[in-house]
Amino acid sequence: METLLENETDYATIPTPSDSVFTAPLQRPSHVSEDWLEPQSSYDSDDDSVWNDLYARQMNLLPGRACSAFMQGLEKLNLDRGGVPDFKEISEELDRLTGWSVVAVPGLVPDQVFFYHLANRRFPAGNFIRTRETFDYIQEPDVFHDVFGHVPMLTDPVFADYMEAYGKAGWRAMQYNRLKALGALYWYTVEFGLILEEGDLRAYGAGILSGPTEVQYSVEAKSPNRIMLDVDRVMRTDYVISDLQNTYFVIESFEDLFHRTEERDFERLYQRLPANFTYATTAVIDTDDVLQIGTQEYSLRGGLGSGARPV
């Protein structure tokens, strides 16, 4: 049985996907090698000011909405030291806690490079920060999304193990050309996941935690569905890229998340998964363990493009 962890595979080199595997056609900049790593940028006072203002805004919103592991991670890493954090300093603390590090990349990296770094407990962080003009939303993840949104969760030992296991799962997903399905699992957990803490919904996904609107919408709004996580269901479900999510999947604990994925026979699952998604972003199916069937009012009123209120 092939689970999320593939212990017999050598993860020391970047995997090479075959021509039949559907991957994003990203052009490697001439100044980086095959691992896409580069030195961390030198940020100026304007960049540091953007970081500080983004940090302050989120910290006004997160208490009571972000999970405890994330809030504790912020404290452990002291990300409020002023300006864009130094990756070397963060990595030293992360290495002590969970054996992870943060590495600088110019932006989005190819799937196989991303898997390679995660499998070796390195988190690739965008080496740029948004401008004042894109302060509220930027589609390509910047250093604030990556470091503020993702890195505090890597201080949690169980979640850190899940991220490594996810990276290792990429090898087998490429073999079966099911990167799209594996990407849905990342989207609905690492980026937009919710967790129950003492019966209350809290966010642990970076896409939620790094933005002002979704951190409130995800745990409080009536529009979205909230469904307990089922790995097979999630990997068959489409997702929203440039707007608030229509559905969130909820876990009971990070141990629950790790075991539900680590123990799943992914080889068999990949053989059975269709190339395209089975379920729409708004779908609720008979086998779902539903916490809330959303009204979908936000989506039905046109979402972001129409100026609909995120209710």
Q: Which domains does the chain have, with CATH numbers?
A: 45-306 (1.10.800.10)
Q: Is the pLDDT of residue 4 over 80?
A: no
Percentage of the chain modeled with pLDDT above 90: 86
Model confidence band, residue 8 (pLDDT cutoffs 50, 70, 90): low
Mean pLDDT of the chain: 94
Q: Which of 96, 46, 61 is nearest to 76 (CA)?
A: 96
Per-residue pLDDT, 158: 98
pTM more than 0.85: yes
Q: Which of 34-38, 216-220, 269-273 has the lowest mean pLDDT?
A: 269-273
Q: Measured between alpha carbons, how far is 106 from 126 in angstroms, rounded to an integer?
A: 6
Residue 19 has pLDDT above 90, yes or no: no
pLDDT at 1: 43
